Amino acid sequence: MTAIHLDDIKPGDRTRSSRVTVTEAHIVWFAGLTGDFNPLHMDAEAAKANGFGRTIAHGMLTHSLSTGLRSAIDDWAILAFLETRRRFVGPVFAGDTVHYEAEVAEVRPSASKPDRGIVRVAITVKNQRGETVQEGEDVLSIARKEAQA
């Protein structure tokens, strides 16, 4: 595997991730990991009145899952994950299958560190019907190629 450096990434580059089916097991696991047992996610009876009629996955679960999906971004020479934001625009239910579509919005060498730069990526998470469930942006620190002699 050849790492993809800042110099290889261009605004407008697009990638599409692998998919994952969000299951009841993910929701229970995430609740146990984080301690977020909000009735929206855990209480089917209460959820009958939540506007969707059933429990929904934690927005942060889908957000977290999206950061683990395989894509070309995995081959980037990532030094750090600097920033993330998401709008939770549609519900994800157990049984839904999600992926993300990403487009590079900005590539900028670091002003202070010549060995790296910043890449901003617009992220759209979609379900199996192509409906957008989350949208936002991730910002990563990416290594530059080593200076040539």
Contact positions vs its own copies (CB under 8 A): 20, 26, 29-31, 33-36, 38, 40, 50-51, 58-61, 63-65, 67-70, 78-88, 136
Q: Which is nearer to its own copies, 44 or 80 (CB)?
A: 80
Q: Residues 121, 125, 128, 130: is their CA dihedral positive or negative?
A: negative
Residue 12 or 62 with smaller CB distance to its own copies: 62
Give min distance, CB of 103 to its own copies, in A: 18
Q: Which two tokens stand for residue 95?
A: 């049984």
Query: Cβ of residue 23: shortest distance to its own copies, in angstroms?
Result: 11
Shortest distance, position 58 Cβ to its own copies, whole Å? 8
Sign of the alpha-carbon dihedral angle for 98, 104, 105, 110: positive
Query: Phi/psi zone of residue 8: left (φ > 0), alpha (ψ -120 to 50 degrees), beta?
Result: alpha
